Amino acid sequence: MTLLENASAKVSRGGATLTLVGVDDLFSRRADVAASFRDVEPGATVIGLVHDPKQFTAMAERGASLVLTGHTHWGQVALPLAAERVNLARRFFAFSAGIYRQGQATLYVHPGIGATGPPLRFGVPPEVTVLVLRRAVAQAPE
């Protein structure tokens, strides 16, 4: 296992390569998106791993295709069956829960499996997410 603190690493499988970029947590005051992308080759397919979704815009501007975050726990309190749209985190975060897009980049804010602060979760069940990555299909020119 490699810990990516403001760093990147290439992963190859089946002839495809992608670059994972990890950014330290904002709370640590060591988060440095620019340093994280220092060794990323131009045109690389980049997946960003960050704790706080506030870093999504900076990651997207540097070329991340997919950014995976947590941090918000979706507010730990939400309207059952509508947690992505009606949750406490929406009061504090522009990107509070679920999937967002900015240009060519996609963000997924994970609801987590535990709690921060009060040990309470209502309407936001813990989740383990499985993402399946597929190679993009080239589109024919028009």
What would the pLDDT profile of 2-23 be if each residue is shown by its tens digit? 889 999 999 998 888 999 999 9
Is the backbone of residue 15 left (phi > 0), alpha (psi -120 to 50) or beta?
A: left
46: helix, strand or coil:
strand
Specify whether the CB–CB gap between 120 and 76 falls below 8 A.
yes
- Each residue of 75-91: pLDDT tens digit? 788 888 887 888 777 78
The structure's pTM equals 0.84
Closest among 59, 73, 75 to 21, alpha carbons compared: 59
Which residue has better confidence, 2 or 40? 40
Q: pLDDT over 70 for what percent of the chain?
A: 95
